[in-house]
Structure 1
Amino acid sequence: MSSWFVPLAVAVVVFWVGVRHVRASQSDSLLDEHARRRVEPGAAPPAPVSVWREANRLFRSGDREGLLLLAEIGRHAPRRRQAVVDTWLAALRGGVGRGLDAPWRTAVQRELVAHLRPGDDFWPGMDVVAPGAILVDLDLSGCRLGRVDLVGAVFVGDARFEAVTVTGDANFAGARFLRHAVFTDALFARSVSFGLAVFAGNLSLRSAQVADQLVAARAKVSGRADLRGAEVSGRADFRHVRFGGRALFADVVFHQDAWFRHAWFRGRTDVGSALIGEAAEFGNARFGRGAMR
């Protein structure tokens, strides 16, 4: 090995560490200055180490300044973006002892969506983990997400996920959709679960793509279930599902097994026109009047 190689490597490492330190210092300075501008006149500005703490304190108290300051932290410190998203989502979980407070929840959701949808302020790779959250007219259409965990969540108003891209597993098990749930053209790069979910209105998975398994066992759909043109690469599990309205499966492609054991189709259905690559199971399934099997 040449005698000059080791000193050169050391110099490169030292230079890289120095650049990282300078960038971190610049980011902290920007956040500190932003925090000083947002405090009340005459109040002492927060110490540099307390910017994150101050933002969280304001946010937890329902102060919009805290919401905006957290967004500013995420813009200048990418390493903290997931923590910011998690903080916003924590506010949407429970906390209804004093009422639903729909305007505050809507404001938090609006800020969240602004960073989950591709654009000038997009934060890529964010996980949406908020089991039990209460979400008001949530619209994640066109967003790009990592893992999604909305187990047991309650969706007040319409829930829109049109053309959403989810690169991790998506879990909506036990969720309650109090109006319509729209997943038209959604892309799930792994599995998606709606097991035990309740849909009070219509459910649309029209033209959706699922790269792994789709689980909807024991779900209840009161309105129309529209899966026309959907494609599922893994197993599709519709056991014990109750379809209260029309169940539309025209041009659906199930690449593997499709299970409909004990499913109840109360309205018109065209499940017989689906293309199923492997086994199709309809044991003990019930069909209402006018069903097309």
Structure 2
Amino acid sequence: MSSWLVPLAVALVVVWVVVRHVRASHSDTLLDEHARRRVGPDAVAPAAVSVWREANRLFRAGETEGLLLLAEIGRQVPRRRQAVVDTWLAALRGGVSLGLDAPWRTAVQRELVAHLRPGDDFWPGMDLVAPGAILVDLDLSGCRVRRVELVGAVFLGDARFEATTVTGDADFAGARFLRHALFTDVLFARSASFGSVVFTGNVSLRSAQVANQLVFARAKVSGRADLRHAEVSGLADFRHVLFGGRALFGDVVFHQDAWFRHAWFRGRTDVGSALIGEAAEFGNARFGRRVLQ
């Protein structure tokens, strides 16, 4: 090959690489712009990677458009749904040093709940993993989820889990409910843990069903604890629990052991018609008022 052909070939290759890079960059820019301006269902959808990146950028910036775009990704691409849910939950963790933006948190929660409650827009099998989350007036009533891990979470306002179904384990250990916690008619298909939880108001597990063990050890309930008609198939652990108000266990069914060692019942205690399948342990338990049997 002539000596002048080699440099020419090299130059052509370099030019070709540069042109491809410029075109790719320009294409990404156009897709990003399109994602930002996407407002209607008739718009042509950009590349999935570009939309995902832009949706996350807008969402992290606190833009409602990003929240809605993530929801649309979940609708269109089912395999992305858990990632969308995880992104929303990440926004509910921490951030207090920058100020508690309650309206933004409630907007994120509202969109989240819309896809966890069975209906036309239901996303089945979602995990709720958000340790340390700060939740404002959370209402998961009637929702159906898989695993719940809200260890150390803080619930501002009422927390509603009425008739919620959790098909996996539920862990609220160390959480703080700063008002009322309503778990009426909840179904925990596996274990439920409320160990060391602080309930500032009332807590209700009335007619709740727990298919495995229920752990309340070292929890503190300032208001009323209502477990009437609840049913626990596994061990029920209430050791060292402080019941500050009334403790209602009427017609509760514990299929296995129920441990109340070192529990302190400061208010009226009602265990009338309670059924305990195996051993009931009340060693060193204290009762501040009368016990109705």
Normalising TM by the smaller chain, what interval?
0.7 to 0.9
Match in the other structure for 2:25: none
Note the aligned Cα RMSD (angstroms): 1.8
Q: 1:99 and 2:99 equivalent? A: yes
Change in CA separation of 1:227 and 1:97 when aligned onto 2, cut-off 3 Å: same
Contact 1:32-1:48 within 8 A present in 2 as well: no
Distance 1:121 1:33 in 2: 28
Deviations 1:187-230 (A, max 9, x none): 00000000000000000000000000000000000000000000
2:153 is aligned to: 153
- Give the letter aligned to residue 190 of structure 2: R
Q: Does 1:179 align with 2:179?
A: yes
Provide closer, same or farther for how the CA distance between residues 153 and 166 of structure 1 changes in structure 2, counting only shifts above 3 A.
same
Distance in 2 (CA, whole Å) between partners of 1:49 and 1:264 is: 56
How many residues get paired?
Answer: 258
Matched, 1:117 2:117: yes
Distance in 2 (CA, whole Å) between partners of 1:158 and 1:274 is: 28
| Rounded Cα–Cα distance in structure 1 between residues aligned with 2:48 and 2:238 | 54
Q: Is the 8 A contact 1:216 1:238 kept in 2?
A: yes
Take 2:62 and 2:127, find their aligned partners in 1: how far apart are those partners? 23
Structure whose alpha-carbon radius of gyration is higher: 2
Task: Tell me if the contact between 1:38 and 1:65 (Cα under 8 Å) persists in the aligned partners.
Answer: no
Distance 1:48 1:166, change over 3 A: closer
State the distance in 2 between where 1:36 and 1:205 align. Answer: 45
SS of the residue corresponding to residue 88 of structure 2 reads: helix
- Counterpart of 1:235 in structure 2 is 235
Give CA deviations for 1:125-162 in whole Å, capped at 9, x if unaligned. 00000000000000000000000000000000000000
In the alignment, structure 2 segments of 5+ residues that lack a partner are 1-30, 40-44
SS of 2:168 mapped into structure 1:
coil
Aligned: 1:287 with 2:287: yes
Match of 1:262 in 2: 262
Partner amino acid, structure 2, of 1:249: F
Q: 1:256, 1:110 → 2: CA distance?
A: 38
CA distance in structure 2 between the aligned counterparts of 1:290 and 1:84, rounded to whole angstroms: 51
With over 3 angstroms needed to count, the CA separation of the structure-2 counterparts of 1:32 and 1:144, relative to structure 1, is farther
Whole-Å Cα distance in 1 between the matches of residues 33 and 86 of structure 2?
24
1:271 Cα deviation after fit: 2.5
Superposition TM-score, scaled by structure 2 size: 0.85
1:57 aligns with 57
Percent sequence identity is 87
Cα deviation per residue 1:44-100 (whole Å; 9 max; x = unaligned)?
A: x97653211110000000000000000000000000000000000000000111211
Query: After alignment, is 273-282 or 202-211 more displaced?
Result: 273-282
- For 2:21, the equivalent position in structure 1 comes to none
Letter in 2 for 1:133: A
Query: How far 1:292 moved relative to its partner?
Result: 2.4
